[in-house]
Structure 1
Amino acid sequence: MCAKQLRGRPRQAELDRRILEAALRLLAEGGYAHMSLDDVATAAHTTRATIYLRYASKAALVADAIMHARGASGLPKPSGNLRQDLVTQLRHFRASMDTSYSLAIIGSALAEEHATPELLTTLRDHIVRSRREILYTILHEARARNELAPQANIKLAVSQLVGSYYALAIAGDPIPPDWPELLVDQVLGGLLSG
């Protein structure tokens, strides 16, 4: 985590949660450039000084807020069953993306890439890269078990698995409840050996 270590009184979990959720909401509503620590303090019913006791900068607060959005459980661990593991990862991905602020934060990070590159870097480092790496691992392990065709393009498959959600969301198309299963079966149809 990016938070400073506190001296004195222990941190209050409820206050921490309010600060992180206020930061996420304000980031989604107005973007990084328009989000101030004063606004976060007001929304979280605390003071700017309290936030500075926890975070050295707005970027540090946003990094922790993004990690908070991922959830305490983190990514599900693979079981070794290719289809099941991919479906489980996509269900988790969808649950994290179905929040009211996820796409807005991504849009804000992309829109402000030149003015505030650390926001997009934080998003890539803390969220995007870890999800893609676990999908790579699942597919590479399946290849090692000879479940995938030798010519299977794992990098492209990972982009298909993750990119499908964004494509549907941006187009305004409804994402079916069984989207993870439908997508995994579609992608695996081009990857499996035999």
Structure 2
Amino acid sequence: MVSTDRDVPRPRRGRPRDRSKDLAVLDATVRLLAVTGIAGTSMDRVAAEAGVSKVTVYTRWASKSELIGAALTRLQVEHVPDPLGAVRDDLVAHLDAMRRQYDEVGGMAIIGNCLAEEPRSGELLATIRASTLLPRRALLAAVLRAGVERGELDAGLDVERVVSMLLGSLYADHLAGRPVGPGWAAGVVDEFLRPHRAAPPR
């Protein structure tokens, strides 16, 4: 007897994954990182904070490291500005996005907690660096290199060092108690550009 498609049992499809639960878990993870650090951000505690079952968390993320990476990567992706085509405008947009992100999620507290736990949480810190800091550095470096290629910046610019200076300004000003408000990014970028703009052709 020749079988037909109707004779072959079809696998049952489960219910569609509830995206709202994913977002609730990721948001809860970020909140706990800011308040309790890596050590206090357990999978079970995230489930309780998000108001979902433990099964919901464990079926989506295999480990705490994977969950933290997913949460911080989501934040990173949501705060990438569209390119504007001018080095000043793009740098201001990226730095201001970073400033607003830190304000919204307690970014300074997250960084402080992670650094405090560095000797015990090297693997998770590596995940955090890979999911947030290194992508942010890459975005700023791309803006600077594009500025060099367009002739807006000096050809001898040390791009990686400048990236560290720009990002470090946020941490330094925050720790010094200096205002880090809406005009902060433009002020930092303008001070950087003052000596680094390419000389006009003669």
TM-score (norm 2): 0.85
Q: CA RMSD in A?
A: 1.7
Shift of 1:71: 5.0
Identity of aligned pairs, percent?
A: 39
The equivalent of 1:156 in structure 2 is 161
In the alignment, does 2:23 pair up with 1:14?
A: no
Q: Which amino acid aligns with 2:66?
A: A
1:75-114 to structure 2, matched below 5 A, reads 75-114=80-119
Q: Which moved more, 1:168-177 or 1:157-166?
A: 168-177
2:150 maps to 145
Q: Pick from 22, 33, 41: which aligns with 1:27?
A: 33
Name whichever of 85-94 and 153-162 sits farther off: 153-162
Partner of 2:48: 42
| Residue 84 (structure 1) shift | 1.0
Give a deviation string over 1:87-132, Cα, whole Å, max 9, x none: 1111211111112421121112212222111222122111111111
Counterpart residue number, 1:130: 135
User: How many Å separate the matches in 1 of 2:75 and 2:154?
Assistant: 36
Alignment partners' CA distance in 2, 1:176 and 1:103? 15
CA shift for structure 1 position 52? 0.6
User: Aligned with 2:104: secondary structure?
Assistant: coil
Structure 2: gaps spanning 5 or more residues: 1-12
Runs of 4+ in 1 over 3 A off after TM superposition: none
Secondary structure in 1 matching 2:132: helix
Shift of 1:70: 2.8
Partner amino acid, structure 2, of 1:84: D
- Runs of 5+ in structure 1 lacking a partner? 1-6
